[in-house]
Amino acid sequence: MASTSDNSAVGMPQLDFSTFPNQIFWLVVFCVVLFAIVKFFIIPRMEDIFANRRKIIDGNIAKAEEIRLRVNEIEKQIEEELQKAKSQCDEIMSTSGNNIKEQMALALEDSKIATTQLISEAEGRLKELRDGSEAAIEKISEELASEIISKISRGK
Amino acid sequence: MVDGNLVEMGKLIGAGLACTGMGGAAIGVGHVVGNFLSGALRNPSAASGQTATMFIGIAFAEALGIFSFLVALLLMYAM
Amino acid sequence: MEKQSAFNIHPMDQFIIDPILTGDSLEWYSFTNQALWMLISLVSISFVFIYGSRKHQLVPGRLQSIAELLYFFIRDMIIDIAGQEGLRYFPYIFTLFILILFGNVLGLLPYSFTYTSHIAVTGFLALSVFIAVTIIGFVKNGLGFLSLFWISSAPLALRPILLIIEVISYFVRPVSHSIRLAGNMMAGHAVIKVFAGFAGALGLGAIAPIFAITAVYGLEMLVVVIQAYVFTILTCVYLNDALHPGH
């Protein structure tokens, strides 16, 4: 067995039973102090850090969820708006098509009226012209005849 | 004096023989880790859950080697 | 018993308990080198866990992440092995873990003293775990705790034999539990010391044992952490046996 006064261990110091009370005494003191530190300092601190982190992470997750919901809403709105715009567009297209047809019909009508009017006018003018020319021819021929007569009578 | 030397010799031989037990522990630990590894390579997703079991197995296998080492130490130093 | 050898190696000297304040006399209260290293490990633990995380940082710094890693490592281990109700004993197991871990790691410093290499220390720890687990088992389950030894899944004829084996292995637990830790620590340190003795004796050829010391030291770094882990995980396994003896 080792004796503690020697500088060199002869046997195993671990089996020197005379040191056991000392070792166990200090171990118990050490364990109690360490347990107190763990219980009253380390665990509350770690749990606090963990709870803080949990809280912030949960808050962030909640915020992300909220933002996601808002994004969904906005997407839905955009969709709605798009739908509305599309239907409006369709409506406008169909009404404008109708309008154009109507206007075209109207314009056709107008032009028909105008052409008939023009034609009748032209016909009237033509008639007038014809009448006028006939009268003029008559007049001219009358004048011509009277002139011829006077010439003839003068020449004689 | 002759007797003392004989006893000493016997102790040291005994200590050396006791150390062969540690070879057994080495084989045991090698088996545990090797089989763990071959299983883990077949199914890597299940491996991480079983490392604790592997360490427990190593500890049990190794304890016996430590016992033989202790016997060797006791023979050399404590008797 | 005298030893004469060419190499003047005393691998066991580093484990001598030496009273450092009261001269040579060793009473039960004398302050020894072992008590000094317990004090040093206490200071280191306080440094890592209290000083390191004093700012309660959200994103941990170096020391705080060490503390958090150790803390949640043990926490998850208890939950994995002993279940949620094992978490009640978390402070005890965590105390045990950091006590052994810091003792082992600080013991690797040159000229230091490894208090976990002493059978008295590990034996006390293992025995207290053993007694605590037995008491918890009987308090939680009453006499149902004895079903741990009576394996109902085995054939009836085998049960008495298994009973004997189980009882023996139950009472061997503290022995293997303590000797595993102390033996590993002692063996590693003694091996390093033996190689160091070779280095001292070989003169210029000392380069080989110095390489060997480096390698063994690296291995020991691994071993000290694994042994602390193993001690703790076996404590959890025993606790699980006490909490759920049926399986």
pLDDT for C92 beyond 90: yes
CA distance C71 to C58: 16
- Does B78 contact chain A (CB < 8 Å)? yes
Phi, psi at residue A12, to the nearest 5°?
A: -90, 120
C13 φ/ψ angles, rounded to the nearest 5 degrees: -60, -35
Measured CA to CA, the distance from residue C80 to residue A132 in angstroms comes to 125
Which carries the bigger pLDDT value, residue C152 or residue A22?
A22
The mean pLDDT value for A25-34 works out to: 93
State which residues form the domain around B29: 2-78
- Length of chain B equals 79
- Specify which residues C19 forms β-bridges with: C32
Q: Residue A32's pLDDT is what?
A: 94
Pick A100 or C55 by higher pLDDT: A100
pLDDT in the model for residue C9: 72
Number of domains in chain B: 1
pLDDT tier at C183, thresholds 50, 70, 90: confident
Q: Find tokens 């808050």 and name the residue.
A: A59
Q: How far apart are CA C202 and CA C208, in angstroms?
A: 9
Interface of B with A in 5-44 (CB under 8 A): none
pLDDT value of residue A31: 93
Domain ranges (residues) in chain C = 32-243
pLDDT beyond 60 at C166: yes
User: How high is the mean pLDDT of chain A?
Assistant: 85
**CATH classification at residue B8:** 1.20.20.10
Residue of C26, C57, C117 with shortest CB distance to A19:
C26
Mean pLDDT over the full length of chain C:
87
A10 touches B: beta carbon within 8 Å: yes
Contact flag C118-A45 (C-beta cutoff 8 Å): no
Which residues of chain B have a pLDDT value below 70? 1-3, 79
- B29 Cβ neighbours under 8 A, 6+ residues apart: B58, B61, B62, B65
Where does the pLDDT of residue C8 fall: very low under 50, low under 70, confident under 90, or very high at 90 and above? low
Give the residue from A24, A34, A35, A57 with the most C CB atoms within 10 Å of its CB, the best one to mutate.
Answer: A34
- What pLDDT shows up at residue C105? 93
Q: How far is B54 from chain A (nearest CA, A)?
A: 29
Q: Where are the domains of chain A?
A: 19-155
Q: What is the pLDDT of residues C18-46, one digit of tens each?
A: 888 777 777 788 888 899 999 999 999 99
Task: Give the mean pLDDT of A15-38.
Answer: 90
The pLDDT > 70 percentage for chain A reads 92
pLDDT tens per residue, range A1-23: 333 434 555 677 887 788 888 89
* C151-165, C200-214, C225-239 — most confident range: C225-239
A44-84: per-residue pLDDT in tens?
A: 988 888 898 899 999 999 999 999 999 999 999 999 999 99
Q: List chain B residues with CB under 8 Å of A10.
A: 77
% of chain C beyond a pLDDT of 70 = 96
Residue A14: its chain C contacts at CB < 8 A?
Answer: 15, 117-120, 182, 186
C85 contacts C142 by C-beta, under 8 angstroms: no
- Distance of alpha carbon A31 from alpha carbon C45, whole angstroms: 12
